[in-house]
Structure 1
């Protein structure tokens, strides 16, 4: 059996895609769950609606996107009662994301009791980051007790795109050193050595790293103390500022990069500065990861911004020609698969991400091996 249903369950929505091998048979979104006028009263009804719309006979598995696997889950895992309990224990690390996934898992197990349910974790791909890249220089006993370390996210995207990049440049995955840049409303950078993540920009949560639509990315941690002690903001208010009112929105008043680019073109100084901050942060991470890897075969842009914003790609890598990194203006403007000049030491690529396909593939692998836990 090659058919896999992929579910991405949020607190008020369920996004689904049905695969047969790599072919998408159908896809859809059930949204505003539990809201007045929404598509469904609860997740139970949402999945029943899905089952009425979609032929789910002959499924090999249902693959569920789960944002946080903590230190326990370092690979996609067939769901049992014990696994469900462990995912629930991880909710404090991902309070906005894991509850929805947990609900989707419980409902799918109930409605499809004979089909293996597989949890595919965003964090799993980054479990190979060595300790010197995963740990912060804080009290080790405190960090160990509360699981304070770098976990990283967007793992299904970075895994898929890094493998595809190796194929594009004609190297075996195990020999390709790649920097992947997942640029969407959320954004992250990852250094991949021979198919294994060795560094990534997000941390214990998806907040740090690159500048994002509404998230700040990297900041001085003391800024939090200052806002609390001097500005008088509560912890909840500071969290709201950094996750929902920062990033491009905080800098320019617009969280969508398309609007930022429009304002920049019209001469808006705030939008121009926000764009410069955004691109400089990407460039800083590219340089950092080049140092981590020691060499790089390719740099790949992916996700909504990475795949569709030539201006970002051009400016993010500007000035790196001495390092063998350059963007060909014409290829870049055409969104070609390879946008670096012919013969460049480092190949610059634009590779569309396929996170749902990666989840489907992971679900098949997990079912074939009965899953694994880290």
Structure 2
């Protein structure tokens, strides 16, 4: 099926910075920096790039602008050097950031804890608060924070805004966010369900309403963000009421290298009876499990090839993945009571028609189905993939977290 008419189009000109200027979006990881210069009004990415292998002998910088790609392999020692290299390639290759009229720098931060329920203008107090929350996301928040600190030094005259992965889920109902753990222990150590990928879930649920020409307040939507990390959410009237990830991104769906839901006693068992340390178990659950642990492969393209070749471990991995996904869809149907739209997004959700079809197989009794012809292939624009008779629309809606961050940053620094 063709994309829904009239939506998803982006201006073709890479030099149109827009009347409101542009926003530089930065996502700083432990050994990488992703960036994108965005026109938040028009929606197009003016330029984008990635610095990876920071701190290694052979780093890599990739920069794309105006259809041209630039690559450099000079060693990059740290995040400060990485961002200096990014600014240098903007100056040498373009676009010129002064001409682009950068009105804000938007930063992705994974964990906002119980402190941040919305984007925040960066100052010393915000930096201190992010640092205090770091134990909740020790692999992510320190790297995010380092990117913020360096960017503030290099771009001191531009306001910096932080957007949190957890913010969209900050207002989850207490029944959904509370673990049945001793209350005092949970309160003292910040143990609750926070949820992640919130920027994507918020963007996609809002995009669904705009695509369909419906009021967001009238729609009940299940969003399935399926990438190497995967999460599901139930969104009622634009407000998240459930999500699959918990205190950390480990809970919920089966993922590329993460277990998703698992009996907590497994951790105790492995520690007591297998002699595994807590750090070793953490590594097992987060980096050596999921599809990788079951089949030795977490790239779905290779996994499907293995299934076609008759590999039983790959077939089991796919079955486990789809079973967990279908179980969450059913659970969120019960939470919402009525589901108007199921939206697939992110790398697997947008590109893997096999997973989309299998995930909804057997749900015809709930008025949910996928049309094989409409579902076929990758989807680069919002597309309806359900047959005409269903009560629930099934859609593929490409996510755009960078655009969402840029728009939230612009709204904070230049409210209309």
TM (normalized to structure 1)? Answer: 0.97
Say yes or no: does 1:189 pair with 2:232.
yes
Cα distance in 1 for partners of 2:341, 2:210 equals 11
Cα distance in 2 for partners of 1:225, 1:257 equals 31
Partner residue in 1 for 2:67: none
Partner residue in 2 for 1:361: 407
Say yes or no: does 1:79 pair with 2:79.
no
Partner residue in 2 for 1:94: 137
Could you list the structure 1 runs, at least 4 aligned residues long, displaced by more than 4 angstroms after superposition.
Answer: none
Equivalences, count:
370
Q: Which secondary structure state, in structure 2, belongs to the residue aligned with residue 90 of structure 1?
A: helix
- Superposed CA offset, 1:276-299 (max 9, x none): 110010100001001111101000
Cα distance in 2 for partners of 1:266, 1:301 equals 27
Partner residue in 1 for 2:57: 36
Partner residue in 2 for 1:214: 257
Partner residue in 2 for 1:111: 154
Say yes or no: does 1:329 pair with 2:372.
yes
What does residue range 331-350 of structure 1 map to in structure 2 within 5 Å? Answer: 331-335=374-378, 337-350=383-396
Q: Choose the corresponding residue for 1:231, options 269, 274, 280.
A: 274
Q: Choose the corresponding residue for 1:56, options 97, 107, 112.
A: 97
Cα distance in 2 for partners of 1:105, 1:293 equals 38
Q: Choose the corresponding residue for 2:327, options 280, 284, 297.
A: 284
- Superposed CA offset, 1:208-231 (max 9, x none): 100000000000111111111111
Partner residue in 1 for 2:308: 265
Higher helix fraction: Structure 1 or Structure 2? 1
Q: Which moved further from structure 2: 361-370 or 263-272? A: 361-370
Q: What are structure 2's unaligned runs of at least 5 residues?
A: 1-19, 60-74, 91-95
Q: Which secondary structure state, in structure 1, belongs to the residue aligned with residue 45 of structure 2?
A: strand
In the TM superposition, residue 129 of structure 1 has moved relative to its aligned partner by 0.8
Cα distance in 1 for partners of 2:377, 2:79 equals 42
CA RMSD in angstroms, aligned pairs only:
1.2
Q: Is the contact between residue 107 and residue 161 of structure 2 (CA under 8 Å) also seen in structure 1?
A: yes
Q: Is the contact between residue 335 and residue 350 of structure 1 (CA under 8 Å) also seen in structure 2?
A: no
In the TM superposition, residue 167 of structure 1 has moved relative to its aligned partner by 2.2
What does residue range 97-176 of structure 1 map to in structure 2 within 5 Å? Answer: 97-176=140-219
In the TM superposition, residue 175 of structure 1 has moved relative to its aligned partner by 1.2
Q: Choose the corresponding residue for 2:44, options 4, 23, 36.
A: 23
In the TM superposition, residue 343 of structure 1 has moved relative to its aligned partner by 3.1
In the TM superposition, residue 169 of structure 1 has moved relative to its aligned partner by 2.9
Partner residue in 2 for 1:180: 223
TM (normalized to structure 2)? Answer: 0.87
Q: Is the contact between residue 110 and residue 140 of structure 2 (CA under 8 Å) also seen in structure 1?
A: yes
Say yes or no: does 1:14 pair with 2:6.
no
Cα distance in 2 for partners of 1:2, 1:275 equals 45
Q: What are structure 1's unaligned runs of at least 5 residues?
A: none
Cα distance in 2 for partners of 1:121, 1:364 equals 15
In the TM superposition, residue 20 of structure 1 has moved relative to its aligned partner by 2.0
Cα distance in 2 for partners of 1:246, 1:276 equals 15
Q: Which secondary structure state, in structure 1, belongs to the residue aligned with residue 194 of structure 2?
A: coil
